Structure 1
């Protein structure tokens, strides 16, 4: 699955939209539920994870930048690195290069 910025991305999972309600504009972002296989995240694309507590992100290839709303600490992942979120808010996973990631 390729993830790219898409201002018209309308995801049919209303629970994901409800999870992000009140967290700002969804324009230019795509909401994606948990997927078993690796995701392809294009350079410059952003994956939005609502209610990120307990979510793990493993960078299979490339380079990823992870940030949480309201948190000044960012995380950089290279191939083979894993990040486990303990924060309950929205998490953004941004492709610094064409990347592949596992999100669970």
Structure 2
């Protein structure tokens, strides 16, 4: 029986998606770009910037979405960190600031009300 590699690298162009059938014991590492990760049945989404990683013990499918061109790695981690632990390279606030500073689309400004 052939054994799967312990690490697989991949790239996604902007706005591309990759569906992973089962995220259990798999670590997703963002090398470059910004990844939006959605786990089936989980109300929380995860944003990964370069250096961030995510691993879970939950058996569920996931969607990896490239907010910009992405280079990433999938690592086999059967004995990985606690379920749902996100790499601590950057805090949530720092990731949010970084995303906003890159000019993510913002809602159009509402026209000013004119009182007559």
Distance 1:50 1:64, change over 3 A: same
RMSD: 1.8
Alignment check: 8 A CA contact 2:23 2:55 kept:
no
Q: Which residue, out of 47, 57, 60, partners 2:31?
A: 60
Contact 1:34/1:103 (8 A) holds in 2: no
- Structure 2, unaligned runs of 5 or more: 76-116
Residue in structure 1 matched with residue 70 of structure 2 by the alignment:
99
Residues of 1 paired with 2:56 and 2:13: CA distance?
Answer: 22
Q: How many residues align?
A: 72
**For the residues of structure 2 that align with 1:51 and 1:37, how far apart are their CA atoms?**
15
- 2:49 match: 78
Deviation at 1:37, TM superposition (A): 4.3
Q: Tell me the TM-score normalised to structure 2 length.
A: 0.57
Whether contact under 8 Å (1:36, 1:103) holds in the other structure is yes
Unaligned runs of 5+ residues in structure 1 are 1-32
Could you list the per-position Cα deviations for residues 3-35 of structure 1 after superposition, in whole angstroms to 9, with x for gaps in the alignment? Answer: xxxxxxxxxxxxxxxxxxxxxxxxxxxxxx878
Change (3 A) 1:76 1:34: farther
| Rg comparison, structure with higher value | 2
TM-score of the pair, normalised by structure 1: 0.63
1:87 Cα deviation (Å)?
1.9
Deviation at 1:41, TM superposition (A): 1.1
Q: Does 1:48 align with 2:19?
A: yes
